Amino acid sequence: MTAGLGLTAVLVVVVAAILIGAFGLRLSRTTSDFYVASRTVSPLWNASAIGGEYLSAASFLGIAGLILAYGADMLWLPVGWTGGYLVLLVLVSAPLRRSGAYTLPDFAEARLESMAVRRTASVLVVLIGWLYLMPQFQSAGLVFREITGAPPWVGGLLVGVVVGVNVLSGGMRSITFVQAFQYWLKLTALALPVAFLLFAWHHDGRPAPHGEVPPYFTAPVTVAVGTDVTVRVQWPVTVTATGRVDGRPARGEPLTLSAGPHTIAHDTTIIFPAGAPVPHVESLPVLTDHEWALPLHGREHPVYATYSLILATFLGTMGLPHVLVRFYTNPDGRAARRTTLVVLTLLGAFYLLPALYGFLGRVYTPELLMTGRTDAVVLTLPGRLVGGTAGDLLSALVTAGAFAAFLSTSSGLAVSVAGVIGQDILRGGVPSFRAATIMAISVPLVLAAVARSLAVADVVGLAFAVAASSFCPLLVLGIWWRRLTTTGAMAGLLVGGGLAGGAGFAVIVGGPAGGWAGALLAQPAAWTVPIAFLVMIVVSLLTPGRVPRGIARTMVRLHTPETLDVNRGDWRPRST
């Protein structure tokens, strides 16, 4: 794909987002418009918008890359991210809508009647939002660099500016229209190219990974290394290198890489002969095709890692602030449930596609295992399998879908984080919301530029773990257990959120570690979620006098359908 075609695709998505957002601007006038679109969004529009913001860079690029690198184990990611909505449907969606809150801290305040719990929830919302936003900006930078060769921070800044313009101008009502459009664009951008890719794969004799051998180059391949990497070579191989290898300059002459680790500097080009095993970057496992195709082979301690991943994705969905804030835009609890059912259908259709890209990437783009840029497999395959003008056009379509993913998810996160900052730190109202939007975007934008780059789906997985370990216990116990006390809720939020957040911080700063310590830190949900529930329950039982005085009225409001004529009270957030 040429740089001009790629830039055109990005510009089309950006201009479409701004124009559709401007349409929403005409309808946004009140605080309610900015925070919850005045609670008038229909289930189909809302479900499309939820699908648009939920399908982030991790869904569009990350899952395929992780399946390419780790194999069948990673199929649990789309299963969990979809199944999480089933848990949300059964336990949370309707009562949450009936709570009358604008944000998740509003719900904490309404249920626990405590400003201290509200402020703790606000800090966690901002933490989760920034943890989720950072990889969106990093991925945008990597894709923009792939297209133009520009420094990675340029793509992140471009997405940040467009998101800022849309959110500042029209708030929730504006981005609802933008995100609904972006869901259907993302679905098309993956579905149409995969039809051509499968046709080319069938025409090529339907090659597939098989046997007890690691991936190898089936033809001479030129690999361009964009960043410094350390790779492991399994068997000695003679290559042609231009750049720096093991600290020594290489000027295009034949070079023999012995078995073992080798450092390759950025902007180095290496030509491998046909039949050479693919060197793997140090952080990725070397799997035979047989191991890759079977579950529980891709990582250390695979049984623990798999169950912890399932727990984080199933329970973390209900604690994601940009997901929950969408349910406040439904007219009533019944509409919230209908919205969740439509979301399940839309997500199920989308998540069938990344697995196909991961499978084809294992066959046709194994060199990504050497550079560590497995997230680029979705962008690389159309040019590799189809080629020519058709391949360029399909690559441009996929690029447009990727930028739609960055924009839609970032917009939803920016609204939810800005809503919390605007209400709980600033004075509330539209001016505070706009000032908070700048804070919500600028901090993760800076973090994306200075923090180490990890696989996008791994970082998003950590955000899910923090959400599952903090807001999941608060929502489940807060809605269904009237004996939850203010002290118990506070203790559970601090312990669960603190443990999962600390594990995520250690992984981002220190990088992936090995052994049991590495597995426990990279996938903390299996131990942090039970601890959070246990602490919340035990502390509540020890402090029965801290049950909120208005718990009976609150439970009526949460669980009684809107069609029944009962006294629900007139609760409003004290922060406003």
- Going along the chain from its start, the domains and CATH numbers come out as 3-24+43-195+299-559 (1.20.1730.10), 216-277 (no CATH)
- 231 is written with which tokens? 């790779």
Which candidate, 38, 87, 574, places its Cα nearest to that of 320?
87
Judge whether 281 and 229 are in contact, CB under 8 Å: yes
Residues of the chain with pLDDT under 70: 1, 23-41, 102, 169-174, 298, 325, 327-328, 427-428, 451-457, 511-512, 568-576
Closest CA to 185 of 407, 493, 370: 407
* Cα(471)–Cα(531) distance, integer angstroms: 13
Q: What is d(CA 362, CA 379) in angstroms, rounded to the nearest whole number?
A: 14
In three state form, how does the secondary structure of 202-223 look?
HHCCCCCCCCCCCCECCCCEEE
Q: What is the pLDDT of residue 279?
A: 92
Reported as a single tens digit per residue, the pLDDT across 133-182 is 888 888 888 788 877 778 878 888 888 888 887 777 656 666 777 778 88
d(CA 91, CA 315): 11
Helix (H, G, I), strand (E, B) or coil at 23: helix
pLDDT at position 543 is 94
The CA distances from residue 243 to 205, 262, 531, in Å, are 37, 13, 51
Task: Identify the burial level of 409 via C-beta atoms within 10 angstroms of its C-beta, where 0-12 means exposed, 13-18 middle and 19 or more buried.
Answer: buried
Q: How far is CA 415 from CA 169, 411, 446, in A?
A: 12, 6, 18
Distance from C-alpha of 137 to C-alpha of 226, rounded to nearest angstrom:
18
CB contact at 8 A, 422 and 436: yes
Q: How many CB atoms lie within 10 A of CB 481?
A: 12
* pLDDT value of position 37: 57
Helix (H, G, I), strand (E, B) or coil at 319: helix
Nearest Cα residue to 1 out of 384, 392, 355, 352: 392
Residue for token pair 């004996």: 483
The residue type found at 131 is L
Spatial CA neighbour of 279 closest among 325, 333, 329, 221? 221
195 contacts: CB under 8 Å, gap ≥ 6: none
**CA–CA separation, 472 vs 479, rounded Å?**
11
Strand 248-257 relative to strand 237-245, pairing: antiparallel
Report the 10 Å Cβ neighbour count for 561. Answer: 11
With residue 340 as reference, give the H or E element that holds it: helix 333-350
Residue with tokens 């590495």: 518
Angstrom distance (rounded) from CA 152 to CA 140: 8
Q: Reduced to 3 states, what is the DSSP secondary structure of residue 263?
A: strand
Cα separation, 340 vs 535, whole angstroms: 30
Q: What does the DSSP assignment read for 440-477?
A: HHHHHHHHHHHSPP--HHHHHHHHHHHHHHHHHHHHHH
Query: Rounded to a whole number, what is the distance in angstroms from the first to the last CA of the chain?
Result: 51
Give pLDDT, residue 470.
92
Measuring CA to CA, which residue among 152, 94, 97 is closest to residue 329? Answer: 97
Coil, helix or strand at residue 483:
coil
Task: Tell me the one-letter amino acid at 200.
Answer: A
Closest CA to 24 of 164, 165, 176: 176
- Cα separation, 352 vs 357, in Å, equals 10
Which residue is listed with tokens 């949300």?
A: 88
Token pair in block for residue 457: 């789906």
**Which three-class secondary structure state does DSSP give residue 258?**
coil
pLDDT score recorded for residue 30? 59
Give the 3-state secondary structure of residue 398.
Answer: helix
- The Cα–Cα gap between 15 and 467 comes to 33
194, 394, 401, 408 from 391: Cα distances, Å: 11, 5, 15, 26
Alpha-carbon span 51 to 346, nearest angstrom: 7
Asked whether 40 and 331 are in contact (CB, 8 A), the reply is: yes
* pLDDT for position 270: 92
